[in-house]
Structure 1
Amino acid sequence: MPSAQAHPLAGEPDVDTLVARTLVPLKDLSASQLQDLLSGVQSEVVFAGQPLFQAGEYDGQHVYLLHGEVRLIDADGSESRIKGRATLMPLAHRQPRAVTAEAVTDCSVLRLNSERLDERLTWSQVADYLRLNIARRRDLDEDGEWISTLLQSNLFFKVPPLNVEQILYRLTPRVVYAGETVIRQGEMGRCCYFIKEGQAEVHRHEEQRWTHLAVIGPGRCFGEDALVNDAPRNARVRMLTDGVLMELDKQDFYRLLRAPEVPTLTLSTLQAVRERGAVLVDTRSEEEYNHGHLQGAVNIPLGLLAIKSRLLSDSQEYLCYCDTGRRSRATAHLLRQQGYRAHALDNDPPLFSKPVWADELEDTTPYVLKEGRASRERS
């Protein structure tokens, strides 16, 4: 068999976000997180006869078939065929790979780093949870728009998803006035700012003159370089109008980078947890859940937690799981903040990679929450 080799499509632009938006679980990403994930990524062509991946490989990728036809070959030599866009799920997504995928025709393929995708997905869905909670609070009616813009800032993409809510509590308001210089070029910075109200203008002094760079408004961040390096300010920011800024100190930003601990239970205790009546909660998307889940597990996608958590009971124990541990930990953390008895599975990846669990994960029966417990959904 020819060695695996993928070739960028000549002259192909970055992946069409409209196409990516249909894929699972990419469709659950916010626009900014999806754009960041796809930055620099291009479709690839795999020629007929070449493998997309081999059985037994750990490639750490989500592989999507956009066009063409692929055959999936099992260890016993049996095969099945898939045509492009026939499925919106990643191909045979289990690590190590349980099958070999070989191109029957020339194929267009999208490969994404699974770790990066999962980080972006969890962050995006925790932000969705926060936005929905803010939308319910009348005292924050006027803050919803700028907070939504703030949560799309690239500055926070490295903040652990469990700390997304803490971002708002680390911000300090500062009233500013038209003509006030907030940042001076060349000075050392100790904080950055988000505009809650008002507008500001940005200028840079170079070649003995000031150059106008931009006018910025609510939700926009400036001065963030001070949080990630010790370089002097590279521009001046001056208010065009009266307004309110939200200040984030460097030390508070560093605190945001430290993820909190989440109580977990080990995979070896799963049967005992079931026997004592705990409800298993699959925190993946509905499509991933429908593709196969643990027997008896209900589906509460992290992105819908703000809506579905009201179906839970505070007297019931819940064990959250997903395929990596990120979405399950975030769900358990947020549920515990609401007063529910929730844990996360300690080490999710073996659940989806060890053959011993394969039969367990083939359950496609939908279960729903009824009085806080799992109940088989009637067809």
Structure 2
Amino acid sequence: MRSFYLCLSVMGLSVLALSCISTRTALAASHPATNTPASRATTQTWDKTAAARYLDSRQIWWQDWPHAQKDHGTVCVSCHTQVPYALARPALRGPLGETKISDPERAMLDSVIKRVNLGNEAETFYSDAVHGPGKTKEARNAEAVNNALILVSYDARSGHLQPVTRKAFEAMWSTQEQTGDTAGAWIWQNFHFSPWEAPESEYYGAAMAAVAVGIAPDGYRDDPKIQGNLTLLRGYLRREAPSQPLLNRIALLWASSKLSGLMTGPEREALAKELESKQHPEGGWSLTDLGQGTWKRRDDTPFDLRSDGYATGIIVLALEENGLGKIPEAHKGLAWILANQDKAEGLWPAWSVNKKRAPESDAGKFMSDAATGFSVLALENSH
């Protein structure tokens, strides 16, 4: 297993399903690229070495942060730092001429693999005893989805599903809700910290589970054993989509490029137009605008309304993966990403929607961790 991860090849996150080609062609045709400067390919460059250095440094910090450390020498699998890191860092390996997995990645994967193999023997990050009733289940559910997504993102690059990843998927399906209003989803951790530990996070987590299944190699999505789970998952994502904040529907758009049966062509078209209406004049998007009034800062400070790397990165990525990378909105968004890297630190900026945080603090960088990961994915996926 270790030798496999040390020899990962550099590939894209996944190959798009053939069934989506006709839909993408129609969408792209209805959004023709213009010949304005904003829609032309930009000549700006970005610092890939600095981006990799920032991502690695944040993973090292997370691994060493006492609050993130858990039992058996493992650490919490965080939606804001580890998941974007796992998705984005391998994409930089080829462009940087790296011949092996980085040491911070190795440490992250060792921790995830150990926790998957430990199963319920591993303690959860949040527990009923400390954080209140239901928190153990919520934490285990969120971790199950994140573990599967992290491991399968590496397997997608090698083209083969490893036994430990199958085990992670089994843990994920075992925690999926089977009945009631939440059938098809995972009861998610909720501390009213948006966007990943709040009521709306349940839907985002389900969309990430769909991404994980969609990028899995070896025809995993066609495994007869999981068809009932997939039916429930598709049903939940489609049923609840109309009531979701825009950020979650963007996550669904991304997931729909990986797993069929999540969105129709007209639904993609309508969402693309909605995203156009939210785009800032300089080409970026603000996470604040993607909450659609569902969020409120705990300290009653005003939201930061500037464009940020997380909102812009995930939107451009979702458009690209759905064959819309050449429409003006995507071009302008990509140009914003290229123009807004902090090349000294290597990061892309983003800000908390929960409270005002010092951007130079470690907690203040959580959103920049996600912003940098998704900005890197959007840039590397644009080639």
Per the normalisation by structure 1, the TM-score is: 0.26
Higher strand share: 1
Higher helix share: 2
- Asked which structure has the greater CA Rg, the reply is 1
User: 1 or 2 for the larger relative contact order (CA 8 Å, sep ≥6)?
Assistant: 2
Per the normalisation by structure 2, the TM-score is: 0.25
